[in-house]
Amino acid sequence: MKKRPGFPAKVDFGQTHTPPSTQLSATKVLPSAGLAQKAKTPINTTPSGIGLDSAKVRERMVQKLALQGLEDEWVLKAMGKVERHRFVDTALVNQAYEDTSLPIGLGQTISKPNVVARMIALLRGGKNLLINGKIGKVLEIGTGCGYQAALLSEVSKAVFSIERLKGLHDKAIENLSPMGLHNVTLIFGDGMLGHPGEAPYGGIISAAGGDTVPQAWIDQLAIGGRLVAPWSSEGASQSLLVIDKTPQGLQRQVLEPVHFVPLKSGVA
Ligand code: SAH
């Protein structure tokens, strides 16, 4: 079985990953079926030995996020819980908690922690979509390595995350399966079409940006729901776009500049 790097890289977690049991186009990221039957609660994958070290480094990252102005307690808690170092390549493990974007393979990147946190906080900032503090259903476009999906799992009832690159979809299954996140479903497909089967969504969040917002996303957003995505008006630089779907219509806000990978159509 393949060993994952620990944090810092030189320390051994003694942790293995469970390979995905199925390669369906929509995959619940539970541990493999046999394990799931034996253990009714999610399997404890807390790394032994250096678990506390990575927890401390994450705590510092969370303190920094709070100092930078992030106030949403739910998001801060999720950022402190999800182990970002599990989602990046072995060689990059030591940079996992720095405020930097990192390559995740196939020319794609995982965004800086403060951008990821900001976007999830914005998603939670919609007016009518929280149920006991949690967003109902969330649709994520661009699963990538699965890091943001794991964060969304902490603040939502259910997460549906789509990736168009098979290699990354498979990687995300591998990364997320051992975490036993019962409310995350990974889908291999073109996120520009959304995922109509589970619509409407209380939140839609995209990790890839284009110069239009696909109509499917607007159609699949619940009334009271909020969409957060990178967006650029033709030829201009990218900014964060927030769209609230209200009973009176769509309300748009264009916020700070961001740098996300392009939103592409089709699968590869
Ligand atoms: N949220 C991710 C970030 C991944 S980067 C993480 O935490 O790792 C953005 C991802 O969007 C890339 O993996 C890219 O392949 C994907 N993407 C781009 N266009 C897409 C589309 N139409 N449908 C689904 N995924 C898309």
- Provide the CATH number for the domain around residue 202: 3.40.50.150
Is 111 an active-site residue?
Answer: yes
Ligand 1 close to Cβ of residue 176 (< 6 A): no
| pLDDT at res. 30 | 63
| pLDDT at res. 175 | 97
Tokens 């999906």 sit on residue = 149
In a domain, 106, yes or no: yes
Using alpha carbons, select from 181, 204, 182 the residue that is nearest to residue 193: 204
| pLDDT at res. 36 | 32
| pLDDT at res. 1 | 47
The SS3 call for residue 244 is strand
In a domain, 181, yes or no: yes
User: What separation in Å is there between the alpha carbon of 157 and the centre of ligand 1?
Assistant: 21
| pLDDT at res. 74 | 97
The pick from 110, 188, 264, 265 for probing ligand 1's pocket by mutation, whose C-beta has the most ligand atoms within 8 angstroms, reads: 264
Number of domains in the chain: 1
In a domain, 15, yes or no: no
User: What separation in Å is there between the alpha carbon of 144 and the centre of ligand 1?
Assistant: 5
CA 78 to chain centre: 11
The pTM for the full model equals: 0.86
**Residue numbers of the domain that contains 97:** 25-37+50-262
CA 12, CA 162: separation in Å to the nearest integer? 32
Phi and psi at residue 261, to the nearest 5°: -65, 155
Give the active site residue among 111, 156, 177, 206.
111
Ligand 1: residue whose CA is nearest its atom 23: 191
The contacts of residue 154 (CB under 8 Å, 6+ apart) are: 74, 77, 78, 81, 82
Ligand 1 close to Cβ of residue 96 (< 6 A): no
Parts of the chain with a pLDDT under 50: 1, 10-24, 32-50
User: What separation in Å is there between the alpha carbon of 163 and the centre of ligand 1?
Assistant: 6
Using alpha carbons, select from 262, 72, 253 the residue that is nearest to residue 164: 262
Number of neighbours of residue 67 by Cβ within 10 angstroms: 8
In a domain, 195, yes or no: yes
Q: What is the DSSP string of 84-119?
A: GGGGS-GGGGGGTTSSS-EEEETTEEEPPHHHHHHH
**Pseudo-torsion of CA 105, 109, 112, 118, nearest 10°?**
-130
How long, in residues, is the chain? 268
CA 170, CA 176: separation in Å to the nearest integer? 10
Q: Residue 130: how many CA atoms within 13 Å on its side-chain side? A: 13
Tokens 């709070």 sit on residue = 66
In a domain, 9, yes or no: no
| pLDDT at res. 202 | 96
In a domain, 19, yes or no: no
- Please answer whether residues 141 and 220 qualify as being in contact, where contact means their C-beta atoms are separated by less than 8 angstroms: no
**Eight-state DSSP code of residue 147:** H
Helices and strands in the chain: count of H runs, count of E runs: 7, 13
> Cα 241–242–248 angle (5° rounding)?
135
Ligand 1 close to Cβ of residue 229 (< 6 A): no
Ligand 1 close to Cβ of residue 104 (< 6 A): yes
Number of neighbours of residue 106 by Cβ within 10 angstroms: 12
In a domain, 244, yes or no: yes
User: What separation in Å is there between the alpha carbon of 209 and the centre of ligand 1?
Assistant: 9
User: What separation in Å is there between the alpha carbon of 239 and the centre of ligand 1?
Assistant: 17
In a domain, 199, yes or no: yes
* Lookup: tokens for 46: 């807390």
Ligand 1 close to Cβ of residue 263 (< 6 A): yes
